[in-house]
Each structure stands twice: as C-alpha cells, then as structure tokens.
Amino acid sequence: MPNTPLTPRSEAERRDAADPLAALRSEFVIPDDSLIYLDGNSLGRLSKASLARVEEVVAGEWGTRLIRSWNERWQTLPQVVGDFLGEQFLGAAPGQVVVSDSTSVNLYKLASAALDARPGRDVIVSDLNNFPTDRYVLEGLAAARGLELKLVEFDELLGPTAEQVRAVVDERTALVSLSQVDYRSAALADLGAVNQVVHEAGALVLWDLCHSAGAVPIELDATGTDLAVGCTYKYLNGGPGSPAFLYVNRSLIEDLRQPIWGWYGQRDQFAMGQGYDPVPSATRFLVGTPQVVGVSLVDAGARVLASAGIKPLRDKGVALTEFAIGLFDAWLAPLGFTLGSPRDAAVRGSHVSVRHPEAYRICRALIEQHDVVPDFRTPDRVRLGMAPATTRFVDVWDAFDAMRRIVETRAYEQVDPTRTDVT
Ligand SMILES: *Cc1c(COP(=O)(O)O)cnc(C)c1O
C-alpha cells in the first residue's frame, strides 16, 4: 500500500499566506476566531458593511426620512439590486432579475407562469432528489392542474446531465426544473447543455441557483436560460431569511404572467386603476411592497463579494475543496468514509460531502467537542461548506483533523443521538 503523504498544518498556513483573497475575511464580523465555520453555504457570515447598512436603512432612511425614502431609494430596490446581482454573479443583462419573496415563492411564481405558457403539455420534469421545497412546490402545481410530475433519479455525483435529460423530455414536457448545484454532493450541472436539450423538446427550463450563486460564475444569458431562482442568504451573505432573486429571460418576459397579480407588478402602479395590466419588464414578477431592510442587506453582502470578483472567489472555492479532498484521501478514506462529492473540480460547487454511517454523531461531535460547524444531510453525509470569502485553509485542515480524531477515538459515541430540529 502506498504511504499516504502527511500534510502538516503548516501547509495550510502556507496556503493562507499565499491566498490573494485572505484580506476579504477582515470585511466580516468574526467575533470568535477559533470557531471553524463550514456552513457559509447554508447561512453566509455577517459582513461589516451589512451592520453599517442596517443602521443606515433603519435609523436613517426609515427613522429620519420616513415615507420620503420610497421615492428617494426604496421603490426601485428590487430591480436595482437585481440588476447588480445579474451583472456581478448571474451573467444577466439589466431588466431581467428582481429581488423579492423567498426562493420557494419565486419558484412557484415562475413555474406557474411557465406552465401557462405551454398549454396542452402535461408533464413537469424534476430531480427525484432535488431540494425538498422545489419538489413540494412542483408537486402542488401538478396536483392543482392535473399534470404529471416526473421525478427522475440522476446520479448524485454527476447531477442531471444533458444526455439523461434528453432521454426524459418529449412533446408532453412543459417544464424542466432542476438545481444547478446538488445540495447534497455539490455536483454542478451544465446549464447550456441541459437548456439546449430542453429547448429541442419545446419545453421551458427553470434553474434553482441557491447553491451556486456567489460561489460559481453563472452565465444565464449566454447559456440561453429561460428562468432561474435562488436565495441570497447562502454564499451571497444577505442574512437569515433575506429575500431571494428571480430571473426571467428578456425574450420571455412579455409572454409570461405570474399567478399572483399584485400591485407592484402593475403598470402605472399609483394610478390605482381598474384591471391588472402588468409592466412589460421583470418588474411584473414582483407582488407586494418590497422587503426594504432585507433587500438592502442583500445589496450590502453582495457588494463585499463583488469587490473580490466571482472568478477569484471561484478559484479559491476550487482550491479549498481540492485541499479538502486531498485530506479526505489521506485521513478519512482509510477510516471507512466515502467521498460524497465529485472529484473533478470543474463539475463541483463549493462544498464537499463526506459519508459515514455515523455521520450524524460525527457532526454533533464536531460541533460540541471541536467548535467546528458543518451540517448533517440525511442519511449519512457530513457537509462541509467552504465559502470562499471567509474560509481559510487552516479551517479545512482543522476540521478534517478533528473528524479523523473523532472516528479514530470513537469520540462520537459520547454524543446524544437525538436529532435536533435544524441539522
Ligand atoms: C436553500 C435552498 C432553498 C431554500 O428555499 P427558501 O424558500 O429560501 O426556504 C431552495 N432550493 C435550494 C436548492 C436550496 O438550496
């Protein structure tokens, strides 16, 4: 058996010293430097700019300017911040992205609009292992409209490939709804290739970008994407429950009508007129009054990332996950773990899952005994999110070292196996 090379902690320190994004971490509020936070893919860290923005928006715009702030700044926030996300992270020209509601609600709005645009077609295609809210929303739409929801089982390490999608779409397919990055494995789908096969079948495609936005460069316009949604509280650092974004390709906007006819989608809103007549832009996908504080924080968090640039962020995400997989091979594979993520960085997002029958208790032991925060994904995954803006190579080294020791010494046996609500 070949000797596994020992990677000393000094190797991680060397990489941190050479990291061109190392200074970005100081833009974030990090009260406890010893906490190893590997959950930035679930809830991104708080930026210093966000703290300052809360004060500005709440005390200044709300407290001082009061209702005058609607005209001064608030009224167009969903579009302005949407365009910014489009430009910096989504490869979307202005006028196609707005920030509003939650990912689940936006998914419902866009899926419903897409189904209306494909009358006579009675099948929705999605991934059997798609993120649960996506499946439930589609299930509800299929039930309400008497459509068939076809849930396809894709290989977890490959994600939905164009070949597999081609095999399941036909003239009955109205909509294909998939996630770009698999929330379990981080498998990264090829947007352009999948879009093409869906379009050849005459259907529309709706991507969920929750685990890619802010971590992986995305080219919605260039890949011919029809529709997309995504959340802003993960890699984009918008804060807990921050409003989501939605994208509608310009060529489709005027043909699509969303199911919730609210006044924020209405032409000449303050004419208070009779009859719904939606704006001929992405604004028609808004519903009600924007969540001003939330959208402002999306802007603040995203600006910190944009100052680094998505390409350097992606490069660091790749370097962190490659480093993690090297440690996995050296330390965890011999202890009975298997790798739950693709080995090829080109088709991997910014997290790494490792699988072990005792994953739940290993996760709890990391949190309780080592101050390492990953998350657990049923049934046997420890998911380690490496948010490029704030994760250090030493964090990865320490987390893998802790996992190795927990399993070698069976320290997980001391952990209460009762599941907590949020894992
Ligand atoms: C996190 C996540 C969501 C969350 O949706 P909410 O409406 O914000 O709760 C949806 N889809 C995917 C793929 C996710 O990772």
List pLDDT tens digits, range 398-414. 999 999 999 999 999 99
Nearest atom in ligand 1 to 134's CA: 11
Is there a domain that residue 46 lies in? no
On whether both 287 and 381 belong to a single domain, the answer is no
Question: Of 79, 83, 106, whose CA–CA distance to 221 is shortest?
Answer: 83
Is there a domain that residue 39 lies in? no
Question: Of 423, 389, 386, 417, whose CA–CA distance to 36 is shortest?
Answer: 386
Q: What stretches of 117-213 show up as alpha helix (H) in DSSP? A: 132-145, 162-168, 191-200
Q: Along the 423 residues of the chain, how does pLDDT read in single tens digits?
A: 444 557 999 999 999 999 999 999 999 999 999 999 999 889 999 999 999 999 999 999 999 999 999 999 999 999 999 999 999 999 999 999 999 999 999 999 999 999 999 999 999 999 999 999 999 999 999 999 999 999 999 999 999 999 999 999 999 999 999 999 999 999 999 999 999 999 999 999 999 999 999 999 999 999 999 999 999 999 999 999 999 999 999 999 999 999 999 999 999 999 999 999 999 999 999 999 999 999 999 999 999 999 999 999 999 999 999 999 999 999 999 999 999 999 999 999 999 999 999 999 999 999 999 999 999 999 999 999 999 999 999 999 999 999 999 999 999 999 988 887 877
Structural domain harbouring 251: 51-306
Is there a domain that residue 375 lies in? yes
Is there a domain that residue 43 lies in? no
What's the structural domain count of the chain?
Answer: 2
On whether both 87 and 232 belong to a single domain, the answer is yes
On whether both 285 and 342 belong to a single domain, the answer is no
Nearest atom in ligand 1 to 107's CA: 7
On whether both 326 and 382 belong to a single domain, the answer is yes
Instruction: Determine if ligand 1 sits within 6 Å of the CB of residue 102.
Output: yes
On whether both 401 and 252 belong to a single domain, the answer is no
Question: Of 211, 244, 214, whose CA–CA distance to 304 is shortest?
Answer: 214
Instruction: Determine if ligand 1 sits within 6 Å of the CB of residue 236.
Output: no
Last residue of a domain, one of 269, 288, 306: 306
Instruction: Determine if ligand 1 sits within 6 Å of the CB of residue 212.
Output: no
Last residue of a domain, one of 306, 323, 342: 306
On whether both 286 and 267 belong to a single domain, the answer is yes
Cα angle, residue 231 at apex, residues 192 and 381 outer, rounded to 5°: 85
Catalytic residues: 131, 208, 233-234, 383
Mean pLDDT of the chain: 96
How many angstroms is it from 102 CA to the middle of ligand 1? 8
Instruction: Determine if ligand 1 sits within 6 Å of the CB of residue 103.
Output: yes
Last residue of a domain, one of 252, 273, 306: 306
Between CA 110 and CA 267 the distance in angstroms is 19
Is there a domain that residue 421 lies in? no
Between CA 423 and CA 417 the distance in angstroms is 12
On whether both 187 and 323 belong to a single domain, the answer is no
* SS3 of residue 29 by DSSP: coil
On whether both 315 and 266 belong to a single domain, the answer is no
* Cβ–Cβ under 8 Å, residues 103 and 136: no
> How many other CB atoms sit within 10 Å of the CB of residue 35?
11
* Cβ–Cβ under 8 Å, residues 208 and 103: yes
On whether both 274 and 183 belong to a single domain, the answer is yes
Is there a domain that residue 40 lies in? no
- CATH number of the domain residue 359 falls in: 3.90.1150.10
Instruction: Determine if ligand 1 sits within 6 Å of the CB of residue 47.
Output: no
Mutate which of 109, 131, 181, 353 to test ligand 1's pocket (most atoms within 8 Å of Cβ)?
Answer: 131
